[in-house]
Structure 1
Amino acid sequence: MAVTNPWLAGPAPTRRLDRERLEERILNLLSSQNMCVLATSGPDGPLATPVRYYHLDLALMFTAMPTSPKMRNIAADPRVSIGVFAPLVGQASSRGAQVFGRARVLADDHPEFPHYWSAFRWQSDHVERSRSLDEPPTGPLVVVAADRIVYTEHWLRRDGYAPRQFWTAK
């Protein structure tokens, strides 16, 4: 029987990528996707919400209605987990990240708002909704700077690296 990816067989390697190469792979994933699953916790228990995101370095950001369940949960407990993943075709294509951090809600008058907002691509939404590009939306903007990331990429096995890699903020 022919095996498409023989390097997937057997025990997984345990070798770690250096920080720079790991960050490059994580950024590649974040740049090539635009949807994530945001996990929050609230009085009714856990809530996993599909969210379109943008990123600036290893910080993910999104907008939301202030009255939404995810925003109520973030107000009560800012600790979140975000799952970002590429489409799965088979084991060799398995690629994703679990991002752990604290959500910060920035109003448009927050001093850090312009820094993050400059990377937020709101224009396509405005065009789709026939809104004027002369009137950018206002906040709030939710920013999650990664404290820790668990990155999975089975293709790493091919080069002798562990398919699960761990990144932590300095």
Structure 2
Amino acid sequence: MPLTNPWLSDPMPADQLPQQRLDERILNLLSSQNMCVLATAGSEGPLATPVRYYSLDFAVMFTAAPRSPKMRNIAADARVSVGVFAPLVGLASSRGAQLFGEARMLPPGHPERDHYWDAFRWENEHAERGRSLAEPLSDTLVVIEPNRIVYTEHWLRREGFAARQFWQRPPLSKPSEETAN
């Protein structure tokens, strides 16, 4: 039987993408999808919840009812994992990412909220709920800025790269002595 994608056969390549190419692929995935699975942990154990999200750079964000199980879990333990994936047709089309970080709840008036809010398409949710588009959503915004991402794309094997790629948030640069004085 002929192989439709011979490059999917073993041995699997192990090379990592250059950082700029990996960044671009992750950003493309995050901006081309709008559903994720949010994993939290609470007193009753793990919880995986489908969530509609919006993205800004590597951050994903959503709103939720304050008393929902996911919000209770985040309040108790902000460590979360988020799974984002593209529709799967076969192994060659397998593409997704696992984001790991801490969820931050930004209520209205929080000083960091405006930075993210401009990318949050609240009008969609207002229209779905029959709310006025003249008044922005006042729900708490949940933002996850990942510390690390595991990105998987089997198509990369065709180019000689590993299907699984690892992204780490760059460390914050320390001010040099010249700028501090």
State the TM-score, normalizing by the size of structure 1.
0.98
Q: CA deviation at 1:10?
A: 1.1
Where in structure 2 are there 5+ consecutive unaligned residues?
A: 171-181
**Residue 75 of structure 2: aligned partner:** 75
**Residue 141 of structure 2: aligned partner:** 141
Q: CA deviation at 1:129?
A: 2.6
Instruction: Please identify runs of 4+ aligned residues in structure 1 that moved more than 3 A.
Output: none
State how far apart, in whole Å, the 1-side matches of 2:131 and 2:107 are. 21
The answer to whether residue 84 in structure 2 is matched with residue 103 in structure 1 is no
The answer to whether residue 69 in structure 2 is matched with residue 65 in structure 1 is no
Q: CA deviation at 1:50?
A: 0.2
Where in structure 1 are there 5+ consecutive unaligned residues?
A: none
**Residue 177 of structure 2: aligned partner:** none
Aligned residue runs from structure 1 range 14-163, under 5 A: 14-163=14-163
Secondary structure of 1:136 counterpart? coil
Residue identity matched to 2:95? R
Q: CA deviation at 1:8?
A: 0.3
Secondary structure of 2:161 counterpart? coil
Structure possessing the higher radius of gyration over alpha carbons? 2
How many residues are paired up?
170
RMSD: 0.7
State how far apart, in whole Å, the 2-side matches of 1:60 and 1:159 are. 29
State how far apart, in whole Å, the 1-side matches of 2:142 and 2:105 are. 5
Residue identity matched to 2:76? A
Q: CA deviation at 1:132?
A: 1.3
Deviation sequence 1:34-93 (CA, Å, 0-9, x none): 000000000000000000000100011000011000000000000000000011110000
